[in-house]
Amino acid sequence: MRVSPKLDDPDRASRLWIGVGLLLLLAIALQGSKFDLLQLVEQNSWDAATDFFTTFWPPRTDTEFLQRLLGAAIVTVSIATVATVLAMLIAIPLAIMITSRLSLSARGRPMRRHARLFRSLLRAMAIFLRSVPELIWALLFVGVTGLGATAGIIGLLLTNIGILAKNYAEIIESGEATITGHLLDNGNGRLKTLLHGTLGQGLPELLSYSVYRWECTLRTSVVLGFVGAGGLGQELLISVRQLASPEVFSIILVFVLLVFVADSLSASLRHQLSGISSQAANTSVCVRYDQLRSEPVYGAMFHRYGMALLVVAMVIACFGSIDWKLHQWLRADSLGRSLEFVQGFLAPDVSATMLRKLAEQAMETLSMAFAGTVLASGVAIVLSYTLFVLHLREEKTIGFSLLISIIHSMQIVLRSIPELVWAMLLIVAVGIGPFTGTLALFAASVGVLSRLYSECLHNQEKHTLENLLSNGGSVNLAPLWSTMVQARSQLISYCLYRWEHNLRAATLMGIVGAGGVGQELYFRLSLFQFNKVATCIMVIVLMVVLADTVSHSLRHRFAPSV
């Protein structure tokens, strides 16, 4: 006998629960981040803000000021470059040690116990290093050794080591195991195996990821000045404190320009790298062995070496332009403070009052990240969907074109200004507190997510959409039934990535007074209470690791690998 299926939608309950749960979480997060739109239109804050923002134009452009900005910009670029290069040099051997792919003791038999233990320890160290945001490392070192670029470099360096080691190891492991295995089986060491086995497969990936990392580091390096670690951020901090809006505007323009240049440079470098292998293959196909004397891929090689030489020269210049102030580190008080710092870490403050305070601020941090991400994601969906539909329409009226370019320029402005700068500007308008932090995360995330979402929608297959349209579906609604459905899991995974990013950023908001756990950290550090600082950092690491794990497992659930 055939049982006919029930008429009730079997997925209804779970979908309802997910929806209700998300709304509930959002309500809690809005509450926790003291979200209050009325605050935006309050009379007195409105006045201060209009005073500040209406004097933005004209920006300050006198020569003396511009020279100062140029100097600061060079410091910013140098800090980022030096930190990335040093991190690469340390991360490469670390990655070789971390990955089991290059293990000698595991060849042909299970890995030895001590080797496995050593590997897990290194892995844990890398996780710890990358879970503490760069700015917090920098803040700590500024606290210990005083102001200056060196603290910023070490800050960027430590986090980058963790991130690069993890990704280098992943790239090594994504290669074919038989190739590295073959080299190891024939008696090669780890380094030779890496050079000939891994580089022969994944050199472009390794270089390309390093360049990308440099770009990210530069973005962070821009705000290092907020904690006194030199560069453009310091100029911005001073100007905002003095409410000198024309200066603020000039600095922000330099910010946007710098980020834009780094972005394009990195994109073009990575584009060239992805072309290297196929280019080498194409040029050498027709070459005969009798041309032994001249390198067959001479043009390509020259190009490659020329580029490498240029990069090396730039790196050396960056190393040269840094004022290391190493003597500052060796002064008695710095050394004494370093010792106190280590002692504080060995005996963190876990008293009930401290933990209660931190739990409260951690809650605030989580709320800011969640509310900022969810709201931004909602707005970004609407924006990117609108853009998609506008592109789909065949008649291009002036109104439509205008709307498209307005949305585009808004995206660019929103995403080229870092969250922390948004927070600093918004404090002038909204005042200190987690609400400001949430708005800052929201602003930057709308820019980034709407661009990613737009790209994602444009990259989907068009068959279903075209079919719906040719059958008379409306241009406004057809993408909802085709493109959006296809893109769903990728959109969710972008959103989760952004949430991870925002949580890290939210831990920093307190540094400029925009709420969250960074506030307590900043306060305790200014009192040199290193045992309390240690507790703050542990809470941050815990939150970041937790967010990574949750986001990772959710991504796998919503977007199973193909």
Partner 1 sequence: MKLAVRDVSVTYGGTAPVALSQVSISLGEQEQVALIGPSGSGKSTLLSVLGVARIPSAGQLLLEDQDPWQLASAKLQGLRSQLHLCPQSTALPARQRVVVSVLSGLLPKRSLLFALRSLLSPARADVQLVRGLLTKLDMEQCLWRSVETLSGGQRQRVAIARAMAADVSTLLVDEPLSALDPTTAELCLGVLVEHAMERQQALVCSLHQIELARKCLKRIIGLRAGKIMFDLPATSVSDKMIEELYRGHEAEIQT
Question: With binding defined as CB under 8 A, does residue 182 bind partner 1?
Answer: yes
| One residue of 203, 363, 469, 492 binding partner 1 per CB under 8 A | 203
Contact predicate 141/329, CB 8 Å: no
Please pick, from the candidates 195, 256, 545, 550, the single residue that binds partner 1 as defined by CB under 8 A.
195
Task: Please give the single-letter amino acid code of residue 232.
Answer: L
Least distance (Å) between residue 167 CB and partner 1: 19
Cα angle at 208 between 202 and 210, to 5 degrees? Answer: 105
Query: How many other CB atoms are found less than 10 A from the CB of residue 417?
Result: 21
Q: Is residue 300 at the binding interface for partner 1, with CB under 8 A as the rule?
A: no
Chain centroid to Cα 396, Å, comes to: 36
Closest CB 172 distance from partner 1, rounded Å = 12
Alpha helices in 99-198 (DSSP H): 113-131, 134-145, 149-174, 177-185, 190-193
Alpha-helical runs (H) found in 286-397: 298-320, 326-330, 332-346, 352-392
Alpha-carbon gap, residue 259 to 181, rounded angstroms:
42
Indicate whether 303 belongs to the interface with partner 1 (CB under 8 A): no
Q: Which is nearer to partner 1, 184 or 216 (CB)?
A: 184
Q: Is residue 210 a contact point for partner 1 (CB under 8 A)?
A: no
Member of 67, 174, 268, 277 binding partner 1 (CB under 8 A): 277
Candidate ranges 26-34, 55-63, 136-144, 177-185; the one touching partner 1 (CB under 8 A): 177-185
Which token pair is 344? Answer: 């504080």
Does 287 help bind partner 1 (rule: CB under 8 A)? yes
Residue 204 C-beta: closest distance to partner 1, Å: 8
CB of 189 to partner 1, least distance (A): 7
Taking the least distance from each CB to partner 1, the nearer of 89 and 326 is 89
User: Does the footprint of partner 1 cover residue 408 (CB under 8 A)?
Assistant: no
Distance CA 278, CA 300 (A): 11
User: Is residue 204 within the footprint of partner 1 (CB under 8 A)?
Assistant: yes
Q: What crossing angle do the helices spanning 419-430 and 434-459 adopt, rounded to 10°?
A: 130
Q: Which amino acid is at 434?
A: P
Residue (of 436, 414, 416) closest to 508 by Cα position: 436
434 touches partner 1 (CB under 8 A)? no
Is 45 a binding residue for partner 1 by CB under 8 A? The answer is: no
Is-contact 158 129, C-beta < 8 A? yes
Query: Which member of 39, 45, 55, 201 binds partner 1 (CB under 8 A)?
Result: 201
**Of residues 123-142, those binding partner 1 (CB under 8 A):** none
Q: What letter would DSSP give residue 197?
A: I
CA-closest candidate to residue 240, choices 491, 4, 428: 428
Q: What span, in angstroms and rounded, lies between the C-alpha atoms of 179 and 161?
A: 27
Q: Whole-number minimum distance, CB 296 to partner 1, in Å?
A: 4
Minimum distance from CB of 188 to partner 1 (Å)?
5
> Are 522 and 135 in contact, with CB atoms under 8 Å apart?
no
Q: Which two tokens stand for residue 510?
A: 């307190």
Using CB under 8 A as the binding rule, whether residue 323 contacts partner 1 is answered as: no
The yes or no reply on residue 292 touching partner 1 (CB under 8 A) is: yes
**Which of 15, 68, 192, 271: binder of partner 1 (CB under 8 A)?**
192
Which residue stretch of 40-48, 137-145, 175-183, 258-266 sits at the interface with partner 1 (rule: CB under 8 A)? 175-183
User: Measured in whole angstroms, how far is the alpha carbon of residue 426 from the centre of its chain?
Assistant: 21
| Residue 554 binding partner 1, by CB under 8 A | no
Range in contact with partner 1 (rule: CB under 8 A) among 36-44, 287-295, 400-408, 518-526: 287-295
Burial class (CB in 10 A: 0-12, 13-18, 19+), 383: buried
Least separation in angstroms between CB 97 and partner 1: 14
- What are the structure tokens assigned to 395, written together? 């008649």
**Mask of contacts with partner 1, 73-112, x by CB under 8 A?**
-------------------------------xx-xxx---
Q: Which stretch in 74-82, 295-303, 341-349, 519-527 sits in contact with partner 1 by CB under 8 A?
A: 295-303
Maximum Cα–Cα distance across the chain: 90
Contact 328, 146 (CB under 8 A): yes
Q: Which helix (H) or strand (E) holds 78?
A: helix 63-98
**Exactly one of 185, 323, 455, 461 binds partner 1 (CB under 8 A); which one?**
185
Q: Is 333 in the site for partner 1 (CB under 8 A)?
A: no
187 is an interface residue for partner 1 by CB under 8 A: yes
Q: Which of 72, 68, 126 is nearest to 97 (CA)?
A: 126
Asked if 307 touches partner 1 (CB under 8 A), the answer is no
Q: How far is the CB of 25 from partner 1 (least distance, A)?
A: 43
Tell me the two tokens of residue 14.
Answer: 């779970």
Question: Is 197 a binder of partner 1 (CB under 8 A)?
Answer: yes
Instruction: Tell me the closest approach of the beta carbon of residue 205 to partner 1, in angstroms.
Output: 10
Stretch that binds partner 1, among 44-52, 188-196, 223-231, 455-463 (CB under 8 A): 188-196
What is the rounded distance in angstroms from the CA atom of residue 535 to the CA atom of residue 539? 6
| Distance (Å, whole) CA 426 – CA 436 | 6
List 256, 297, 480, 559, residue binding partner 1 (CB under 8 A): 297
Closest among 438, 435, 453 to 378, alpha carbons compared: 453
Q: For partner 1, which residue of 59, 71, 93, 181 counts as binding (CB under 8 A)?
A: 181
Select from 45-53, 201-209, 459-467, 483-491 the region that touches partner 1 (CB under 8 A): 201-209
Rounded distance between C-alpha atoms, residue 240 and residue 221, angstroms: 18
Size of the site for partner 1 (CB under 8 A): 42
Three-class secondary structure of residue 323 per DSSP: coil
Q: Quick check: 294 binds partner 1 (CB under 8 A)?
A: no
- Establish if 200 lies at the interface with partner 1 (CB under 8 A): yes
* Site residues (vs partner 1, CB under 8 A): 104-105, 107-109, 175-176, 178-179, 181-189, 191-192, 195-197, 199-204, 277, 280-281, 284-285, 287-289, 292, 295-297, 301
